[in-house]
Structure 1
């Protein structure tokens, strides 16, 4: 048995007693086919292109019209020695490095330190870039969430989760749900593609883990025909994301009060959907009503990873609400909106 045959062996992907023969398509029945997943590759490239066009033709003019303004940044004098160190070694040199660079450049240590502060400031993502990125994500998440609701609201298995497993795995795939699944997978693949170019955030590592877990879950659940369960999980997770992106946009527009109100709504939806609705309803039925086999164990593992990330982000969200909104502490973006490159203004000003 070859590696491919081992990987796709029905005992790993399907419950006991079921084989891939049971999943063969007929004239009136269609089931998820593993090769469908390949459509996510051109889908991801298409979404990257759509995003590029959207940000320049819609988000950028919108940001300018609404008054998004970037602060002027000091320009550094060209210096090959300092630039080489900044690019190849470190953006934040230690004291001994500053002394060494000062000697090499024939500058005062204070001047070298100032050069690096201004150089870091130069590399910060602009406010307009952050606004355009948030606008794109808001548009996608808003469209995805309400499209998902429209697809699911009349499905009996949404309201009675026991029906999710009725006659599994021989559950015909509705074309609309199949395309919705592939759209979500394409989107998360596009996020991985653009990750090096997007605003780098404080929870960058957690975001990478999240993307890997999400892509894995969508992939394996589609191949194992767990589309009913997977679609509900995706819609529950999309419920709060567009609200967060709207709060970011308002923050970049300096609409402080409105931003705070939207963020409180986001916090309520995020915590209720990720820490209550998902684990106590959707995931509960998945754990208690479904027989275990290999792919189910894989899905369990990655769902636990996601839930740990939900707890981590919920802690950050609550921390921000208590510290910033209730106690009036200095504003910082919480969760995925905290840029790693953003230090305090005092650090990057002379």
Structure 2
């Protein structure tokens, strides 16, 4: 209990020589207070409700306009023993588990492996669910970017980064920047509340780290009055996320491949420019170097920059994934998002040589067409042989 009062010690949150009495010179409405962050909790719940309504009533009509359809899927045959093992123990049985299941249900190893593969595919998220999530994020990022740009376009620190530190930390906060912060915090809070039911992709752990780092970054920057830099970080990230989600939307539709490719190229360009060039050279540079022109380092200075470094590390990780996609795009082999939840399963099926029941309709149509052509050729050959036989008998 004795450590609790030290949490708000001045040397943690304020530069040397600045006290809480100095912050009291700001009006109550102009000063960021820790209790203001509580507003993000009801906003997160409101975003969860809005998202549910949006994905239920707004996303499906948009998806139909873009031709979003769920893929054909082969369901696994009813098998109570296998279903019980799948739900209660593991979706990927080991070799010893398969041997035990063989004696339990009387199926061969091949049949059990195929059953589990089909059963895993049944739990794969459908295209409409993916489209709904991407559309929700697209509309939020678009609204947040436009609103953030309207809030910052007339501010001096938007054009001159040294203005972020003028008279810091005794800087008045405007109400529009307060709501900009709270809405962003509420949105990322809603993503954490829904992360257990959302589609899990390859970078699930990195997404969790990103959401937590963003929430900590926004919360700390608000309490330490790093609001000017925080608003720049938010609008910089939203600019690339808009293009990413829009590219996903068209990727899930049918007949929009060229539009998706164009959006992907634009997204990759904006991502590398904002996350790998502007963010480290402008944002991190101003927090590490330019801020030292106004005050000396303190605990909050180090903590804030560590969070920015964590974000930059995630930027590098995602840049590597994007480069892989760019390579596939240039060679004409790109098919889906590198972060797709289907990739590992599809690669497993290809390695084992099994037919993937959730393959694309084009692949299925091609196989059906090949089969039908073979049938037609066989019928035609048999018909010719029958005619020739009747002619010989007639002669």
Write the deviation string for residues 169-220 of structure 1: whole angstroms up to 9, x where unpaired: 1101100001100111111111111001111000111111111111110010
Cα distance in 1 for residues equivalent to 2:39 and 2:344 = 37
Cα distance in 1 for residues equivalent to 2:316 and 2:66 = 35
Partner of 1:331: 335
**Structure 1 residue 84: Cα displacement:** 2.2
Cα distance in 1 for residues equivalent to 2:91 and 2:28 = 61
Cα distance in 2 for residues equivalent to 1:220 and 1:342 = 37
Partner of 1:155: 155
Write the deviation string for residues 308-329 of structure 1: whole angstroms up to 9, x where unpaired: 1111111111111112x11012
**Gap change, CA 1:81 and 1:282, over 3 Å in 2:** same
Structure 1, unmatched stretches of 5+, are none
| Aligned 1:34-53 pairs, distance under 5 A | 34-53=34-53
| Aligned 1:63-78 pairs, distance under 5 A | 63-78=63-78
**Structure 1 residue 331: Cα displacement:** 1.6
TM-score, length basis structure 1: 0.94
For the 8 Å contact 2:141–2:242, the answer to whether it is kept is yes
Cα distance in 2 for residues equivalent to 1:19 and 1:273 = 35
The answer on 1:187 being equivalent to 2:191 is: no
Runs (4 or more) in structure 1 with deviation over 4 Å come to 25-29, 345-348
Partner of 1:319: 324
**Structure 1 residue 9: Cα displacement:** 1.2
Partner of 1:85: 85
Partner of 1:13: 13
RMSD (Å) for aligned C-alpha atoms: 1.7
The answer on 1:349 being equivalent to 2:356 is: yes
**Structure 1 residue 28: Cα displacement:** 7.8
| Pair member with larger Rg | 2
The answer on 1:268 being equivalent to 2:269 is: yes
TM-score, length basis structure 2: 0.84
Cα distance in 2 for residues equivalent to 1:79 and 1:22 = 71
Write the deviation string for residues 124-172 of structure 1: whole angstroms up to 9, x where unpaired: 0000000000000000011111111111111111111111111111101
**Structure 1 residue 8: Cα displacement:** 1.3
Counting matched residue pairs gives 347
For the 8 Å contact 2:284–2:305, the answer to whether it is kept is no
Partner of 2:62: 62
Partner of 1:232: 232
Structure 2, unmatched stretches of 5+, are 358-395
Partner of 2:175: 175
**Structure 1 residue 23: Cα displacement:** 2.4
Partner of 2:300: 295
SS in 2 for 1:69: coil
